[in-house]
Structure 1
Amino acid sequence: MIGGLAVIMPDDPGQYHPDALRSLAFLSLPLELPLLLAGLLLLPRRAAIALSLAAGLVLACLIFLKLADIGVLSAFQRRFNPYLDLKLLADGWNLFSGTVGRAGAAAAILGAATVLGLLVAAFLWSCLRLVHLGGRARRAVLAGAGLAFAGGLVLSFTVTRPDGTPLASLRAGPVLAERLALVVRSVADIRAFEAGLETPAPYAAGPDLLSAVAGRDVIVIFVESYGRSALEDPRYSRLTGPRLAAIEQRLAAEGFAMASGWAGSPTVAGLSWLAHATLMSGLWVDSQARHDLLMSSRRPSLNRLFSDAGWHAAAVMPAIVMDWPEAAHYGYDAIFDAKALDYRGLPFNWVTMPDQYTLSAFERRVRAPMRAAGTPVMAEIALISSHAPWTPVARLVDWAQVGDGTIFNDQAAAGDPPAVVWADPERVRQHYIATVDYSLETLGDYIARFGGEAVFVILGDHQPAALVTGPDASRAVPVHVISRDAGLVARFSADGFRPGLVPAADAPELPMDRLRGRLLHHFSGR
């Protein structure tokens, strides 16, 4: 019974919806069970015990893979990849514990591990009892197994489930074989990616490289969880639509031109550094394994190209709270992580500091000194106020009062804790879009006040989780190019972008790795 439930257990979070459970669409007859029963009863005792242990191992793998699929599908809208995803367990713990608290996260993980252990132990105990059956009971169970297998064979050819698969079939073997094939494909993919690292990057050299933006600050800003759904989902567009319209009107009045399009992100719901690496390298970095290979390669990053051309390349990363050895790959001239930004206020739960403080510190500590020195800045900035758990929601204050950040203490201490907010999916969605709205308002106000002659490239890093977007949402994120150089912005408009801050609904979703080439092409006047 335990083995059968493990085999037919749904591995898609959508199948746990009450309507799906009531439909019993997940029910099936796994033919492995009667075969296992026959093996336990017919094989010599030692071989049968060995079969029990092997079956227990298979059961543990199946349950683990299905639980992992539920978690990864809920977060990243794809299935668990043992080869690529085991490296992300620490990051998963950081996000989970930051949302529900360390005690709650530890209790949940310990509880799941305990349940898994008890299920496997109960299964092994049942198998060993069958091995030691004798006489009439042994013959009865064997006969039942034979009838079940024969009946299952008939059902496999005559009855199908709602998804078109046979009602009875071998299920455990194909699941494990498919996952093994996925690992094999992933290994081959990583080897091909490694070989491609040696291919020269396009637009990495030339006398006119970056000539169209010479002498001006170029500021690339990633807005956390700012995805296409924030602009087009009716639940969110009622807030973002008027916000973008107001920002567009104000910036136009200040002499800025704007153009917007879509970029396809290599990730969803998290792993923001994959999006950063994809844009800066011009390579599709959709896994931690690819990211690790890129970090150890000599592929010139966009940051390094600017630095080599005379810009002061800076990283402003308020979410970096530990050592960051990967920064060496990018070739920054200066790195402002959470510690270097010197925020003295209270954190907003997982979010170390509000976006307004990040931009204020960037203006004071990066742009102002370089402006005085006559050196243009190329900055890569991560804004994180719209990062889960999306509580509390920050509010814009007078820029002159930002100071060391302690002015935000009352905001940081306000609102419900994540465990309360996340108990209600609708509140999660409301908080999500409220934080995105804050990030957009802050950006619009910053550019209007301090933009000067800088060129801004603003984009989302990825879509939020399916809880916010719904299943099967696009993985695209908005991209905005903003500058007082109308001719430069017009090049993007002529290249598929739409004037203003709202991309056209039917505009193509340019893969983010190709966006780097477009930027270099237009920034070089080519």
Structure 2
Amino acid sequence: MKRNDLNGKTFAGLDRKTVVAAFVFIVVGFLALTLPDHPGAFHLRAFRQFPLEIPIAALVLLFLSRRLATPVAALLALAVFTLLFLKIADTGVEAAFQRRFNPYLDIKMMVDGWNLVSGTFGTATAALVLTLVFATFIAALVIFFIAARHLAAIGQAGRRTMIKTFGVALTAGVILFAAGPSVGLQGVANLRAGSYLEARLSLVARSVADMSVFEKQLAAPETIPAGSDLFAAIRGRDVVLIFVESYGRSAVEDPRYSPIMKPRLASVEKELDAAGFASASGWSVSPTVGGISWLAHGTFLSGLWIDSQARYDRLMISKRPSLNRLFSQAGWQTAAVMPAITMPWPEADYFGYDKVLVAKDLGYRGKPYNWVTMPDQYTLSALDRLVRQPAREAGKPVMVETALISSHAPWTPVAKLIDWADVKDGTAFNDQATSGDSPSVVWSDPERVRQQYIGTIDYSLQTVGDYIAHFGKDAVFIILGDHQPAAIVTGQGASRAVPIHIVSRDKALIDRFEAEGYAAGMTPGPDTPEQPMDGMRDRLIRVFGAATS
């Protein structure tokens, strides 16, 4: 018999092409329908249920007319890969931000994700990885479509063996699905795509409704004292608002980190006490976790809960007065010192700064620490030199906001404090900036990631404390984290609270914060209340609003 007479038959009278098509259809469909959507759910039990959508879809294809075969196969391929995309996105967003991916709110974040990844691992590497992922995804989509189209062609050719096979599989699946609970086989087969997609549509609908609620909050009238009556308790003093990147409650209380952080906070408190400062500390609940720091900034400064990019974008075009703008109206010169901003920043207009200094304006001539443009010590030195000293010479108090970034991922290398007199143009940091392992080495070991993380937080708090002790003078300092780090550092389900510290030489002012529930000193207690971050603007207006006796 000639080889061609076999016609490529394998089994049950089917050629190899048909077997491969069926295999691709079943395997890809199975993965799309059973793939977990949470990083903590990846275990064998997640794949023990057989999705009934597979035999149902196969039967539909096998009985289709030639005219409908191609469009239906295309729709199936699109549905399968929509499921895959959503589940992969869910897993990534859960790992980073401890919530589900929301198409309505999160698409804009992709640009920010690209900026972080390319800044950490290099543009060429990031572009190569992104291209490979995209090409793999498209190739798999095309292959699945071809497989689905081939199954439809089987029915058109009158080959009923596959129809019978899938018919038996479908019947068995229905029986298992219906009778499973009564015979102890619950979960062997089920229908799942509909409920998953319904939940996603419900999430988007809730997000749209949430924006309507937010519009009403923006439109609600406020009763804020006139500018000249604001902040009487701190009249004439500088106010320095410092966000410390990824400084969360876990850094203080997690047993893996507290042996480093609690002694550091105690050391900072001792240094501040020796310099004549008092302090009070509490917990503030951030609207975000793992990243998107600007949501925390917007929440703190606007007094509204900004937990999505959509809310943030809407806030940016509103008339809601920010805390910065209120200080400006009350006679303070307002400024922003933002070492992480390397691109245009139109959002600054909303906050109402009199002076905006981004990375290129700070005069740093040293080398970057991977993604981190400059170490915190340089940022605070530039803040003093470029903002506080000129304002002091002009006889005007300043309200300055900064976001320190030495504790931003990838947390390598870990900066070290040097003598303030040696900071100068930042070139003194060059040896530090080129020391240590690369991000790819650090991130290959989760335990190493955690060690590097707490090392950077330790450095940031040491630097802030040392700056206040040396250059604080009569200023009021508000120091807080923007959010907890990603789950690789905290574990799943960690509190969203961040530490907040108020530091001043005015003990009576600090006592007011203790009356608000804050703990004395630089370490918040385990029972210190967690207060939502959107309440801070109005709390500061109230506490700073009347002169201390």
The TM-score bracket by the shorter chain reads over 0.9
Q: Do the aligned partners of 2:227 and 2:326 also contact (CA within 8 Å) in 1?
A: no
The CA deviation string for residues 355-412 of structure 1, in whole angstroms up to 9 with x for no partner, is 1111111111111111122111111111111001111111111101111111111111
Q: Do the aligned partners of 1:77 and 1:466 also contact (CA within 8 Å) in 2?
A: yes
**What is the DSSP-based 3-state SS (H/G/I as helix, E as strand, rest coil) of the residue aligned with 1:197?**
helix
Q: What amino acid maps onto 2:280 in structure 1?
A: A
Q: How does 1:422-501 map to 2 (within 5 A)?
A: 422-501=443-522
Partner of 1:348: 369
Q: What amino acid maps onto 1:341 in structure 2?
A: L
Structure 2 residue corresponding to 1:147, chosen from 158, 161, 168: 168
The CA deviation string for residues 92-139 of structure 1, in whole angstroms up to 9 with x for no partner, is 011122233323322322222222222222221221211111599842
**What is the DSSP-based 3-state SS (H/G/I as helix, E as strand, rest coil) of the residue aligned with 1:219?**
strand
Is the alpha carbon distance of 1:157 and 1:521 closer, same or farther for their aligned partners in structure 2, counting shifts above 3 Å?
farther
Is the alpha carbon distance of 1:159 and 1:212 closer, same or farther for their aligned partners in structure 2, counting shifts above 3 Å?
farther
Partner of 2:196: 175
Q: Do the aligned partners of 2:300 and 2:537 also contact (CA within 8 Å) in 1?
A: yes
Partner of 2:380: 359
Q: How far, CA to CA, are the matches of 2:540 and 2:367 in structure 1?
A: 37
Q: Do the aligned partners of 1:202 and 1:517 also contact (CA within 8 Å) in 2?
A: no
Q: How far, CA to CA, are the matches of 1:69 and 1:5 in structure 2?
A: 15
Partner of 1:9: 35
Percent of pairs identical after alignment? 58
Cα deviation, residue 30, structure 1: 1.2
Is the alpha carbon distance of 1:77 and 1:436 closer, same or farther for their aligned partners in structure 2, counting shifts above 3 Å?
same
Is the alpha carbon distance of 1:61 and 1:310 closer, same or farther for their aligned partners in structure 2, counting shifts above 3 Å?
same
Q: How far, CA to CA, are the matches of 2:222 and 2:380 in structure 1?
A: 31
Q: How does 1:147-296 map to 2 (within 5 A)?
A: 147-159=168-180, 166-201=187-222, 203=224, 205=226, 208-296=229-317
**What is the DSSP-based 3-state SS (H/G/I as helix, E as strand, rest coil) of the residue aligned with 1:380?**
strand
Cα deviation, residue 159, structure 1: 4.2
Q: Does 1:413 align with 2:439?
A: no
Q: Do the aligned partners of 2:228 and 2:329 also contact (CA within 8 Å) in 1?
A: no
Larger radius of gyration: 2
Q: Do the aligned partners of 1:224 and 1:382 also contact (CA within 8 Å) in 2?
A: yes
Partner of 1:110: 131
The CA deviation string for residues 51-94 of structure 1, in whole angstroms up to 9 with x for no partner, is 21110110121111111112111111111111111111110011
Q: How does 1:253-402 map to 2 (within 5 A)?
A: 253-402=274-423
Q: How far, CA to CA, are the matches of 2:385 and 2:481 in structure 1?
A: 24
Give me the TM-score of the superposition, normalised by structure 1. Answer: 0.95
Q: How far, CA to CA, are the matches of 1:138 and 1:504 in structure 2?
A: 73
Q: What amino acid maps onto 1:281 in structure 2?
A: S
**What is the DSSP-based 3-state SS (H/G/I as helix, E as strand, rest coil) of the residue aligned with 1:234?**
coil
Q: What amino acid maps onto 1:232 in structure 2?
A: E
- Structure 1: give runs of 5+ residues left out of the alignment: none
Q: Do the aligned partners of 1:99 and 1:419 also contact (CA within 8 Å) in 2?
A: no
Q: Do the aligned partners of 1:157 and 1:166 also contact (CA within 8 Å) in 2?
A: no
Is the alpha carbon distance of 1:165 and 1:485 closer, same or farther for their aligned partners in structure 2, counting shifts above 3 Å?
farther
Question: Could you say what the CA RMSD is over the residues aligned between the two structures, in angstroms?
Answer: 1.8
Is the alpha carbon distance of 1:499 and 1:239 closer, same or farther for their aligned partners in structure 2, counting shifts above 3 Å?
same
> Which moves more between the two structures, 31-40 or 470-479?
31-40
Q: What amino acid maps onto 2:191 in structure 1?
A: L
Q: How far, CA to CA, are the matches of 1:418 and 1:301 in structure 2?
A: 37
Q: How many corresponding residue pairs?
A: 518
Give me the TM-score of the superposition, normalised by structure 2. Answer: 0.91
Q: What amino acid maps onto 1:299 in structure 2?
A: R
Is the alpha carbon distance of 1:96 and 1:158 closer, same or farther for their aligned partners in structure 2, counting shifts above 3 Å?
farther
Cα deviation, residue 150, structure 1: 2.7
- Structure 2: give runs of 5+ residues left out of the alignment: 1-25
Q: How far, CA to CA, are the matches of 1:157 and 1:280 in structure 2?
A: 55
Q: Do the aligned partners of 2:228 and 2:330 also contact (CA within 8 Å) in 1?
A: no
Q: How far, CA to CA, are the matches of 1:45 and 1:177 in structure 2?
A: 31
